[in-house]
Every structure is written in C-alpha cells, then in structure tokens.
Structure 1
Amino acid sequence: MAIQIQDQLNRVLHFKSLPKRIVSLVPSQTELLVDIGLENNIVGITKFCVHPIHLKKEKQIVGGTKQIHIDKIVSLKPDIILCNKEENTKEIVEACKQVCNVHVSDIFNIEDSLELINQYGKIFNKKKEAIKIVTKINEEISGFKAFILKKPTLKVAYFIWRKPWMVAANDTFINYVLNLNKLENVYTTKKRYPEIELINVPINKSVDVILLSSEPFPFKNSHKRELQEFYPNATIELVDGEMFSWYGSRLTKAFAYFKMLRLNLQNNAL
C-alpha cells in the first residue's frame, strides 16, 4: 500500500508500505505516538523522552534533541524518523534523511498541533485514534475559552533559563499558549528565546506575573526570591513547562492545568 503525505515543511514523503519502525527525536511527539497506540512500533527515542517513563528502559536511546548518535539510528533500521524544526537542528534532519524518510513538524499554534496529530493518524493508519485525541483537545479548548473569557488580561514574563536569563518571546508556541491564557507577554518585541538582563527598569513594575518553567531549566523556589527584586509587583509561579510547550496529546491535559493556574494566580493576588 503506497502512501504519500506532506510534512509540515511541505516536503512530500513517499512510503511503499506502512512505516512500522519509528525513531522519534521529539519528546512530545514520542508521547503522542504512545497515545495513538504505537508504543510497540517505537524503536528509538531521545534521553528527554520521559513520558511514559518506562520507555527509557525499553527503547534504544539515540542521543538528545540537538545531538544524536547516527550510528545507533542506522542500526535500528527505522522506516521513518520524526523530527521538529525547532527542537532538532537542520544538520540532524539532513543526516537522518540519509537513513530513511524524515517527517518534520513545525508548530506555532493549536491548528498546527491538530494537523500533526492527523498526519500521524494517516501515516501510521491510526486515523480513529488520532481523531479521538483531536476531538478531546477541541472540547478542552472550547471549555477553556468559556472559562477565560471574562478573566482579566495579565502582563507576564515566561522564563526558560538562568545564566544567562532567557525568556520565551514572540514567534514561539509558548507565546501562543500565553495568549490563549490572556497572559500578555511583555517580551513580544523580541523573538524566539532571547537572553535578557535583570535590571530595574520601569516596565518591570508593570509585570503582573512571572512564570518559571520546569524545563528546560528546572527552576526552584530559590529562583523566585532571586527574581522578586527585579519584578517587585509580580506574583511569581513555578509552572509545568510541558503544559506550555508540549503540543501533542499533552494538550488533552493542558487546559485543565491552565484553569488551575489561573485560579492560583487569583488567590495569590487577594
């Protein structure tokens, strides 16, 4: 059964038959594969593919998202390798293309996420399972939009790294998710993940909320105290970074988390 499909870079992929041996170089996409019933087809993952946790014991780890062991990938004889434009480098994608078909995702919003899930459903003959997840995400979004509708817009900064301090800015999926939460990113004049200097400037006093992500840097309570000096009027919260940046089946859980976060922010502001 010949299969032809475009990935999210509009590259056309051709398969002579259903791809069965999968290497995933993106943690959120690995979780999605499991949730559409493809755990047994996964042969290789990254060291950051932590959901479900048992995969790291059962599957071959082929490196990280920025550095891979191409020899290990070759030895697994995959039918397809799954990448992401942001998480994997162009060099990784080019190296993997010498092994087999490479599907590259490119995610900026929920529509892109749902498209990716449906693409996996088509590629791996899991259309029913994909539709079930898409339907669940749409239901969660609908309920969340009703919940957030009359909530006030808050000014926010979302930190992802320390030494150097880095934030999520414009042209990121995280920024898109912040907007869904009516959290106005004060760093949208910058792009992607810029370094910033912690200095006392007037704009800092207008920030309502500082969000410290659990990934890629594992922020702790000690960092809350460190940042409070520079954002004196802000509520500072440790947040689950996977909920803000994982764009696969994790979205079925994310909006319940966002409701809880907003209620916590309200309570802390009282």
Structure 2
Amino acid sequence: MSRIASIVAPLFVPADRPERFVKAAGSGADAVILDLEDAVSPDRKEAARSALDAGFTDLPVIVRVNAAGTPWFEDDLAAVARLPIAAVMLPKADHAAPLARVAAVAPVIALVETVRGIADARAVASGGHVERLAFGSVDYAADLGCDHVRVALAAARAELVVASRLANLPQPLDGVTTDVADAAITQDDARHARALGFGGKLLIHPRQVPATRAGFMPGRDEIRWAERVLGSGDGAAAVDGAMVDEPVRIRARALLDRAERLSRLEQ
C-alpha cells in the first residue's frame, strides 16, 4: 500500500505558519497538509509559498494549492515542483484538465467539494491522474445550500466511496469536523465515515488526531471476529452462527490490516 493510500489522519497547517509545522508532525497525525488555500489570506499567499518545506518530518507532506483558475495556482505549482512532497491536494477538483496539469508535478489528491465535482466524481477518479479522493464537505454544503449534517451529505459521501471503488482507488478521505473542542464529536464522525467506507478523515486541529485514530481503529470484538473468520478455513463455514465465505473474509482481512496500520502509529 502506498503512503498516500494508507493515510488515515492527515492534519492541515496554514503554510504561512512554519513555526507550527514540527508541532503538527508530532501530533500523532500520519501526514501533514501544508495549506496554501483557505487558511491563508490573499496578502499572505507569497509568504506561505516561501515557507513551504518538506524536510521537517519523515511523514508524508502534502500541499493544498489554490484552485485552478485562481491568481495563485500557477505560482503554487511552481513552488511545490521544487519540493520532495508526497502529494498535491487540488481543491475544486471537478474537471480533468487541472488534474493532469498537477499530476505532472506530483501525485494528486483530488478534493471534491462542489456539486459539479460530485456529479463528475467517477470521471475524476477514473481519469488516471488521481491517487486518492477527499471530500470537501463544508464547501460542498455551501455550494449546494444545505446544512453540514449527515443526512444532507449522505448522497455525496456515498458517491465518493463508490467512485473510488470503481476506479480502484484507495478509500477516500472524509471531510473535516468543524467542532475542534469536543473530541467525542470527532471520534463519532470518524466512526460514521469508517462505516460508510471512508479510509480516513481530514483534520484541522491536533486534538482531533487521537479521536480520529480511535474512530477508525477496529474494536477488540471486531478484531477477534476477524481472526475467527480467517481461521475458519476456505469455502463456506459458520462463524458465530453466521455463514462466512470469501467476501466476508475480504472484509476481515481489511479490518485487521487497518488495525495493524493504526497500531503502528502508536509506536
């Protein structure tokens, strides 16, 4: 599994705040996203580009550039092209041309955050330029004019999971939890995202990191169930009174793989 595919808890940091880079890397996150876009005011874009760095950590460093068509896009790409970053996160990823342009510079995480982006998610995912999808849920809600709540976002979330699977991409990254004070809310959101088929979640505060990892970590009962399933042999078998076959074993293997990866983050 690639480093981008295995990311579960990536943390955003404003790129014009380099004094926070090392702290972000030490938060327990498994990737750091240096943000040139929403977290940086227009008069600070140049300073943010100048502060970009990939040498402060061994974790994957991702840079979220400004969207194609903005006055800052080309300068952002020129800046990231000089750095050994893991990926570029492209916001407003709703058509192929900018994705191809960015993919020539670095691997691409496509941030889908518009109604058009959701409508075109399968084309974006299958176009050959994207390593992983991510959900910009707050921007999507603003574009659609809906509340940032689960029931309103359910269809969009489902489409990103399906689009990723059809394109044989890793499970997508879910959007942010805007409440940074209550870790229980973040953990519950992470559990909800995992249940829907997401593989991780975008984070905006260090205190959300442990909660997200806990939300995506399979519980002891799930791990024991998966071990029993994989110990049941081949073909059809009964485990805990339920019929088990290969699709169930695939799920069990994926569950144990996630548990192992998240356990390594604790070390």
Q: Which has the larger radius of gyration?
A: 1
Same fold, TM-score > 0.5, yes or no: no
Alignment TM-score, normalising by the size of structure 1: 0.26
Judging by fraction of residues, say which structure has more strand.
1
Q: Flag the structure with higher helix content.
A: 2
